[in-house]
Amino acid sequence: MNKLFITFQALGFLLFLSFIHSQAAELKYTFVVQETNYTRLCGTKSLLTVNGLFPGPTITARRGDTVIVDVINRGNHNITIHWHGVKQPRYPWSDGPEFVTQCPIQPGGNFSQRVLLSDEEGTLWWHAHSDWSRATVYGLFVILPRLGTTYPFRQPDAEVPVLLGEWWRADIHTVMEDFLERGGDPAISDALTINGQPGDIYNCSASETTKIKVDQGKTYLLRMVNAGMNNLMFFGVTNHSLTVVGTDGAYTKPLISDYITIAPGQTMDLLLAANQPNNRYYMAAKLFNGQPASRFHNGTATAIVEYSSGNNTTPLILPSLPASNDSNASFNFTSKLRSLASAEHPIDVPLKIKRTLLYTLSINAIPCAANETCEAIRNTSRFAASINNITFDMPSTSILGAYYRGVNRGVYGDDFPDVPPLKFNYTQASGLNATLRLPEVGTEVTMLKHNETVELVFQGTNLVAGVDHPMHLHGHSFYVVGSGFGNYKRKRDSANYNLVDPPHMQTIAVPQNGWTAIRFQANNPGVWFMHCHFERHVSWGMGMVFIVRNGKASSARVLPPPPDMPPC
Ligand SMILES: *[C@@H]1O[C@H](CO)[C@@H](O)[C@H](O)[C@H]1NC(C)=O
Ligand SMILES: *[C@@H]1O[C@H](CO)[C@@H](O)[C@H](O)[C@H]1NC(C)=O
Ligand SMILES: *[C@@H]1O[C@H](CO)[C@@H](O)[C@H](O)[C@H]1NC(C)=O
Ligand SMILES: *[C@@H]1O[C@H](CO)[C@@H](O)[C@H](O)[C@H]1NC(C)=O
Ligand SMILES: *[C@@H]1O[C@H](CO)[C@@H](O)[C@H](O)[C@H]1NC(C)=O
Ligand SMILES: *[C@@H]1O[C@H](CO)[C@@H](O)[C@H](O)[C@H]1NC(C)=O
Ligand SMILES: *[C@@H]1O[C@H](CO)[C@@H](O)[C@H](O)[C@H]1NC(C)=O
Ligand SMILES: *[C@@H]1O[C@H](CO)[C@@H](O)[C@H](O)[C@H]1NC(C)=O
Ligand SMILES: *[C@@H]1O[C@H](CO)[C@@H](O)[C@H](O)[C@H]1NC(C)=O
Ligand SMILES: *[C@@H]1O[C@H](CO)[C@@H](O)[C@H](O)[C@H]1NC(C)=O
Ligand SMILES: *[C@@H]1O[C@H](CO)[C@@H](O)[C@H](O)[C@H]1NC(C)=O
Ligand SMILES: *[C@@H]1O[C@H](CO)[C@@H](O)[C@H](O)[C@H]1NC(C)=O
Ligand SMILES: [Cu+2]
């Protein structure tokens, strides 16, 4: 009976696939995760890569395609791969976050992942979603318009990947383990990178600096990702302005700016018009962080835009970017993003909200045991982080697997609170009672009904320290309807929401000591991680899980798992 049922579901799955993909292609990629000899990055000797490439291979598909990626782990670490921004309708099995939707692929193992595209169009990316491996295991995921359709802007003359990253000379697993053991901040990274290279301001890689050749009069589509680990970045090109036309796999109204702010996890489609005198110009990325720059890597990664007939004699000068701690500049840029919201690319902002959530985002401190030494708060504590005062305790088996089999006991609870357990002046500048800093530790999920409309307000707090939090939701895009500094006040702030053309995103930086309101429809049944995209914060526990229940119709239920789910 059970077997028959599964076969029936599998048949449904095949019919479903052939239906939605009658117009679409099925593409195949093989990803071999391996330790690679790599000498092109400041003398680095070994890097964990996919197919020996750094950054990893680009996936190119069209809207609505299915991409099958055979992931083979020939490295020495557990690995999972996440397709960042791909919604995976009804199919969380391939989503990738370790111990949320799968157990990791162990060394020697493999997993064939079905990546189901639906309404995504533009630039996304893929990356490791286990420990800190994503420092080097990441690449671009390009989603072209369907055959017979075009971009909602003039066809660019060429497309250029621009992947921003952050690199440590030491082995990244050692960096992570050392960070977890000390309980303080992670070691400061040694460089920021553009397409895997720090650029010529860092002496060690001057000759490998990324060069981008352009012809005067042409227009280039930069497909940009912030793959950095722990910081937002400012980015610009000397003497050139940039036109934002998309973010997170959705089109935006054209936004012209001299600089952009991009959060880790976020992607951006940018038009660069080569309209300056024939010469060469820096493109540059540096961190944005409202906290003191001495705590983070404060160098500048560069690449060189070279005009084809330039004489290239003039000295390169850096673009003028906002100061590294300029929160207003970051907020100002981000709050100007607008959905395209055209007839061809309509939007669908939930107007009637069924479920209203308020989640605080806090840095916490847990007092040190007598027999350990830890670095946080004058060597008294270990840092932690929480959402609604719960520090996410990663289980040692897949939450999705436990949910699907109906055996959640001992794996997770469903008591994640809809509102903060304690009301206080979240963004008070100083003098917050230190007893508030202690979080609870648990593995709690929020259950959402199928198709429920959700408004979620993220409220940053100033516990321990206020900082931006780039929040990322799996399985859904959301509309960013409002944002501001200070404490959210529903009456005052909901009146100013943009419900007309808010940007459709999957990662949004909640401003330091501020708030961001998002709306989405929980139309994708499954188990979906939501977390801060700073590695140090997610390691400290700034994550939680939404479980979107099945709908009644068979077409509104989670599809069955593939036969090769990695075992625990
Ligand atoms: C890397 O290079 C070293 C020395 O050249 C060699 O011994 C080693 O086998 C190489 N490793 C891989 C994974 O190719
Ligand atoms: C993938 O794993 C299966 C099961 O362990 C094994 O039979 C198969 O040979 C592996 N394939 C590759 C390409 O490593
Ligand atoms: C690069 O080398 C030059 C000359 O050797 C030196 O003056 C400069 O400080 C170095 N820059 C960095 C970032 O190490
Ligand atoms: C930049 O970082 C270096 C090394 O971490 C630090 O010594 C320096 O003070 C920082 N610069 C600023 C402006 O904070
Ligand atoms: C190269 O460019 C510089 C600055 O634009 C200009 O002064 C110089 O004459 C140019 N040289 C040649 C050979 O075109
Ligand atoms: C924000 O942008 C506007 C232009 O759109 C500008 O006039 C204003 O000065 C900017 N504010 C800050 C704080 O950067
Ligand atoms: C500290 O003591 C606790 C028991 O009080 C023990 O479980 C733990 O392993 C000890 N940690 C270290 C680092 O010795
Ligand atoms: C909350 O803290 C902010 C920042 O310190 C302060 O300006 C505000 O007056 C406080 N609000 C209340 C109600 O105490
Ligand atoms: C901090 O909170 C604790 C527990 O609620 C309370 O006992 C203590 O008096 C408070 N301290 C201050 C300075 O308000
Ligand atoms: C979080 O929970 C802990 C343990 O119950 C409590 O001591 C602390 O005050 C709470 N903090 C906040 C901000 O809710
Ligand atoms: C979910 O809502 C959408 C409209 O937002 C509707 O088209 C769809 O039929 C609903 N699905 C179910 C299963 O109710
Ligand atoms: C690797 O994955 C296995 C299976 O889930 C798990 O038991 C093991 O603890 C993991 N190893 C590490 C270092 O996380
Ligand atoms: Cu964070």
The pLDDT tens digits for 442-496 are 999 999 999 999 999 999 999 999 999 999 999 999 999 999 999 999 999 999 9
The finding on whether 207 has its CB within 6 A of some atom of ligand 9 is no
pLDDT at 437 over 60: yes
Give the Å distance between the CA of 513 and the centre of ligand 10: 19
DSSP state, 422?
S
Q: Give residue 370's pLDDT.
A: 87
| Segment among 175-179, 205-209, 482-486, 558-562 with least mean pLDDT | 205-209
**Distance from the alpha carbon of residue 424 to the mean position of ligand 8, in angstroms:** 10
Nearest to 278 by CA among 213, 335, 367: 213
Q: For residue 520, count CB atoms less than 10 angstroms from its CB and return exposed for 0-12, middle for 13-18, buried for 19 or more.
A: buried
Instruction: Give the per-residue pLDDT at 14.
Output: 45
pLDDT beyond 90 at 7: no
State mean pLDDT over 81-92. 98
Kindly list the strands in the beta sheet with 440-442, ordered across the sheet, starting from the edge strand earlier in the chain. Answer: 440-442, 390-392, 381-387, 355-367, 452-460, 514-522, 478-485, 504-505
In this prediction, residue 144 carries a pLDDT of: 98
Question: Do 219 and 293 contact (CB within 8 A), yes or no?
Answer: no
Both tokens assigned to 303: 């690449």
In the chain, the percentage of residues whose pLDDT exceeds 70 is: 96
pLDDT for residue 149 is more than 80: yes
Measured distance CA(131)–CA(430) in Å, rounded: 34
Nearest to 132 by CA among 77, 169, 181, 59: 77
pLDDT attached to residue 446: 98
Q: Are 85 and 124 in contact (CB under 8 A)?
A: yes
Q: Whole-angstrom Cα distance, residue 194 to residue 181?
A: 30
Q: Which residues pair with 360 in a beta bridge?
A: 459
Q: Which residues lie with the beta carbon below 6 Å from any ligand 7 atom?
A: 369, 371-372
Q: Token digits for 457?
A: 């307000």
433 within ligand 3 shell (Cβ under 6 A): no
Ligand 2 centroid distance, CA of 11 (Å): 25
Extract the tokens encoding 467.
């900082």
Ligand 11 pocket test target in 118, 354, 451, 477 with most atoms within 8 Å of CB: 451
Q: How far is the CA of 500 from the centre of ligand 6 (A)?
A: 22
Asked if 534 and 469 touch (Cβ cutoff 8 Å), the reply is yes
Among 371, 372, 374, the mutation site with the greatest number of ligand 7 atoms within 8 A of its Cβ is 371
Rounded to the nearest angstrom, the distance between the alpha carbon of 364 and the centre of ligand 9 is 17
Q: How far is the CA of 37 from the centre of ligand 1 (A)?
A: 6
Does ligand 4 come within 6 angstroms of the Cβ of 118? no
Residue nearest to atom 6 of ligand 12 (CA): 568
Average pLDDT, the chain: 94
Ligand 6 atom 14 nearest Cα: 329
What separation in Å is there between the alpha carbon of 373 and the centre of ligand 7? 11
Residue 230 backbone zone (phi > 0: left; psi -120 to 50: alpha; other: beta): alpha
Closest-CA residue, ligand 8 atom 12, reads 425
CB distance 72 to ligand 2 below 6 Å: yes
Query: What value does the mean pLDDT take over residues 420-447?
Result: 96
From 276, 278, 313, mutation site for ligand 5 pocket: most ligand atoms within 8 A of C-beta: 313
Task: Tell me the CA end-to-end span of the chain in Å, nearest whole number.
Answer: 27
Nearest ligand to residue 426 Cα? 8
Ligand 9 atom 3, closest CA? 435
Q: Give, using CA atoms, the residue closest to atom 13 of ligand 10.
A: 436
**Does residue 49 contact residue 9 with C-beta atoms inside 8 Å?**
no
Q: Using the atom order of ligand 11, give the atom closest to the CA of residue 451.
A: 1
**H/E element, 505:** strand 504-505
Residue pair 560/9 in contact (Cβ under 8 Å)? The answer is yes
In this predicted model, what pLDDT tens digit does every residue of 313-361 receive, in sequence order? Answer: 778 999 999 999 999 999 999 999 999 999 999 999 999 999 999 999 9
CA atoms within 13 A on the CB side of 376: 25
Q: Is the model's pLDDT at 9 over the cut of 90?
A: no
Q: pTM of the full predicted structure?
A: 0.93
The confidence score (pLDDT) of residue 4 equals: 38
pLDDT at 8 over 70: no
Give the three-class secondary structure for 319: coil
Q: How confident is the model at residue 294 (pLDDT cuts 50, 70, 90)?
A: confident
Is residue 40 very low, low, confident or very high in pLDDT (cuts 50, 70, 90)?
confident
Asked if the model's pLDDT at residue 20 lies above 70, the reply is no
* pLDDT score at 11: 43
Ligand 12 atom closest to Cα of residue 78: 1
The whole-number average pLDDT for the span 175-186 is: 96
Q: In the predicted model, what is the mean pLDDT of residues 211-218? A: 96
Q: Name the residue with higher pLDDT: 221 or 21.
A: 221
Question: What is the pLDDT confidence band of residue 129, given thresholds at 50, 70 and 90?
Answer: very high
CA 249 / ligand 3 centre spacing (Å): 39
534 Cα: distance to centroid of ligand 13 (angstroms): 5
The token duo for 73 is 């782990």
Contact 264, 212 (CB under 8 A): no
565 contacts: CB under 8 Å, gap ≥ 6: 93, 102, 103, 111, 398, 401
pLDDT for 85:
98
* pLDDT for the residue numbered 304: 96
Whether omega for the bond prior to residue 97 falls within 30 degrees of 0, making it cis, is no
